[in-house]
Amino acid sequence: MNVRLLVVVAGSCALCACLAQQPAATSGQPKNVDTIAPVAGPEALAAPVRTGELLYVPAYSSVYTTAAHQTMPLTVILSVRNTDPARSILLRSAKYYDSGGELLKEVVPMARVLAPLATFDHVVDLRDDSGGTGANFLVEWVADDAGTHAPLVETINLKAGSGNSVSFTSRAVVLRSLVP
């Protein structure tokens, strides 16, 4: 009995020592984090477009505080959720723009396949407030079946901290159909 306890304690100490030796997160440049979605193969890219849309998604990498001209930075999460339980969609592109309409980053530089009910997320770090208060994404999605459900596309804008937390979502709006 005491031997088992000793083994458990020793194992726990070894695990803690290993974790303590791992390098700490660097505090240099902000990092953007994406969920993994497979790159579209030639057959997906060649499939006929039966439905699809160009979407505008508001994002807020910062918001105004109660003080005039002072802003608070926020983390922005772009979430593209395939709501169809049976059919995949092709996420052709997602581009991140700042308040002045300048392209900051191509979030999806190569088309990605979202399986039924799969989600693609892209995180703009709290320390990256380059988008400003009027940041946005343009997202293109298509599918080869006209009956495919449109994805749910939104941003989650948040800052969590002791005594000063804020979070809200912004839903995409359709700019135009991508059906030829």
DSSP characters over 105-167: EES-SS-EEE-TT-EEEEEE-TT--TT-TT-EEEEEEEESSTTPPPPEEEEEEEE--SS--EE
Largest CA distance in the chain: 74
Average pLDDT over residues 9-14: 36
- Give the model's pLDDT for residue 18: 36
Average pLDDT over residues 19-32: 39
- Give the model's pLDDT for residue 162: 75
Mean pLDDT check: name the lowest of 5-14, 40-49, 119-128, 162-171. Answer: 5-14
Domain 31-38+48-177 bears CATH identifier 2.60.290: yes
In tens, the pLDDT along 57-101 reads 999 999 988 777 888 899 999 999 999 999 999 999 999 999 999
Is pLDDT of 14 > 70? no
Amino acid present at 54: L
- Give the model's pLDDT for residue 59: 97
Average pLDDT over residues 147-157: 97
User: Which residue would you say has higher pLDDT here, 69 or 33?
Assistant: 69
Q: What Rg, from alpha-carbon coordinates, does the chain have?
A: 21
- Chain length of the chain: 180
Over 47-103, what HEC string results? CCCCEEEEEEEECCCEEECCCCCCEEECEEEEEEECCCCCCCEEEEEEEEECCCCCE
Residue extents of the structural domains in the chain: 31-38+48-177
User: Which residue would you say has higher pLDDT here, 54 or 29?
Assistant: 54
Contacts of 178 by beta carbon, 8 Å cutoff, 6+ apart: 49, 52, 53, 54, 140, 141, 142
- For tokens 């979070």, what's the residue? 167
Give the end-to-end CA distance of the chain in Å, rounded to a whole number: 73
Is pLDDT of 11 > 50? no
**Rounded distance, CA 56 to CA 114, Å?**
19
- Give the model's pLDDT for residue 44: 81
In tens, the pLDDT along 42-55 reads 788 888 899 999 99
- Give the model's pLDDT for residue 39: 82
